[in-house]
Amino acid sequence: MLDYHIIVIGGGGTGAAVIHDLTQRGFKATLVERGELTSGTTGRHHGLLHSGGRYAVKDQESAIECIEENMILRKIAPEALELNEGLFVAITDEDEAYAEAFLSGCEECHIPTRTLTPKQTLELEPKLNPKLRLAVQVPDGTIDAWRLPLHFFATAKHRGADIRTYAEVIGFLQQGGVVSGVRVRDHRTNQEYDLKGDLVVNATGAWAEKVTAMANADVPIRPSPGVMVAVRGRYHNMVLNRLHASGDGDIIVPQRNLSVIGTSSWVVDDPDKLGLPEDHIQAMFKYGSEMVPTIKDAPFRAAWSAARPLIGSKGEDEGRELSRTFKCFDHKERDGVEGLVTISGGKATTLRGMAETTVNVVCQKLGLDIPCRTKEEVLLPYRAYYN
């Protein structure tokens, strides 16, 4: 084991993949999460294993990240995925006209496609709107939002990672612009303690700005919530996307015996204050039933919101215009604060790639040359986290 101790803040999918990569490269690592694991955005996302199709026209960097990581996750975490494929469905003239840009975007991003006639599509998914014009099949799938990070946590834990829940970072140990650890409040015991480290990785997603502010640093994050609605029953097996530029209620993900319709998009300043607008819930039923008419009368199970950690500054583009790509910030370069890096943006689908980029920055800062091997190693079963 290397003689370096790295602290990771945040126990979502990104923190999970980061602590796995760190321990695989030989670091001693401790992760602190203020609540339960995946209690942030990770435990509440839509569950779409993106092929990248959704971003292939307007956000190709993110589309390429998605298809590459989609293929890797199939190999390293198969138990967390349902490989049910996806359809982009054209219902209107406008949707049909969008197909050309969609297909060429997918080709540019190396996303495999298969164009289907209405007859072929309805044979595969009979509950789709019978007025559909065409559909394009892509390698989307369903992610189990909890099990995927648990695979990473399990593997890291078996390599000696120290994973602490209900442990909130309330400050940084800092002298002369150098971070040397964090101040933690243990919510189980109500005690506070210092945790020293050679470097701190901030993987707090939509909370990244709040956390970096405690170290007198800054990160350009726009917390961007979306609403999702789950209805009882599974009306199709493939993931459905509307074939048009990303909009509200245009994805339906079959998740066990539920169908999850999402999502909307706006921006907030505080990721702890999202709200759940009633008109967004109604919009999910309205737009979802344009693709699958049965959704209109499907029994309601739950509605919730969660915040995307999108990269962007106040006053820039908002919500849907912001890229879904990710970035690792070295706060020495950005704010003159040594010993702290932040990883943010991205998707649940791209968690492994986000971790690879982050741990490369960690190694570079410490003058180490240790290659990443997370693409190859099949992760332990998620159940191994508990034993």
- Which parts of this chain interact with ligand FAD (CB under 6 A)? 9-15, 32-35, 39-42, 45-48, 50, 168-169, 203-207, 211, 226, 228, 262-263, 306-309, 346-349
CB of 61 or CB of 96, closer to ligand FAD: 61
In whole angstroms, the minimum distance from the beta carbon of 101 to ligand FAD comes to: 22
CB of 60 or CB of 115, closer to ligand FAD: 60
CB of 10 or CB of 105, closer to ligand FAD: 10
Q: What is the C-alpha separation between 184 and 287, in angstroms, rounded?
A: 44
CB of 133 or CB of 358, closer to ligand FAD: 358
Q: Which residue is nearest to ligand FAD (CB)?
A: 12
In whole angstroms, the minimum distance from the beta carbon of 8 to ligand FAD comes to: 9
CB of 304 or CB of 375, closer to ligand FAD: 304
In whole angstroms, the minimum distance from the beta carbon of 33 to ligand FAD comes to: 5
Question: The tokens 């469905």 sit on which residue?
Answer: 89
CB of 254 or CB of 346, closer to ligand FAD: 346
70 φ/ψ angles, rounded to the nearest 5 degrees: -55, -45
CB of 53 or CB of 134, closer to ligand FAD: 53
In whole angstroms, the minimum distance from the beta carbon of 3 to ligand FAD comes to: 25
In whole angstroms, the minimum distance from the beta carbon of 258 to ligand FAD comes to: 14
In whole angstroms, the minimum distance from the beta carbon of 313 to ligand FAD comes to: 19
Contacts of 181 (CB under 8 A, 6+ apart): 7, 172, 173, 194, 195, 196, 197, 200
Q: Are 194 and 183 in contact (CB under 8 A)?
A: yes
In whole angstroms, the minimum distance from the beta carbon of 283 to ligand FAD comes to: 13
State the burial class of residue 109 (Cβ atoms within 10 Å of its Cβ: 0-12, 13-18, 19+).
buried
CB of 236 or CB of 308, closer to ligand FAD: 308
In whole angstroms, the minimum distance from the beta carbon of 348 to ligand FAD comes to: 3
CB of 86 or CB of 134, closer to ligand FAD: 86
Q: What is the C-alpha separation between 324 and 341, in angstroms, rounded?
A: 19
In whole angstroms, the minimum distance from the beta carbon of 333 to ligand FAD comes to: 21
What 3 state SS string does the chain have?
CCCCEEEEECCCHHHHHHHHHHHHCCCEEEEECCCCCCCCCHHHCCCEECCCHHHCCCCHHHHHHHHHHHHHHHHHCHHHEECCCEEEEECCHHHHHHHHHHHHHHHHCCCCCEEECHHHHHHHCCCCCCCCCEEEEECCEEECCCHHHHHHHHHHHHCCCEEECCEEEEEEEEECCEEEEEEEEECCCCEEEEEECCEEEECCHHHHHHHHHCCCCCCCEEEEEEEEEEEECCCCCCEEEECCCCCCCCEEEEECCEEEEECCCCCCCCCCCCCCCHHHHHHHHHHHHHHCHHHHHCCEEEEEEEEEEEECCCCCCCHHHCCCCEEEEEHHHHHCCECEEEEEECCHHHHHHHHHHHHHHHHHHHCCCCCCCCCCCCCCCHHHHHC
In whole angstroms, the minimum distance from the beta carbon of 63 to ligand FAD comes to: 12
CB of 105 or CB of 249, closer to ligand FAD: 249
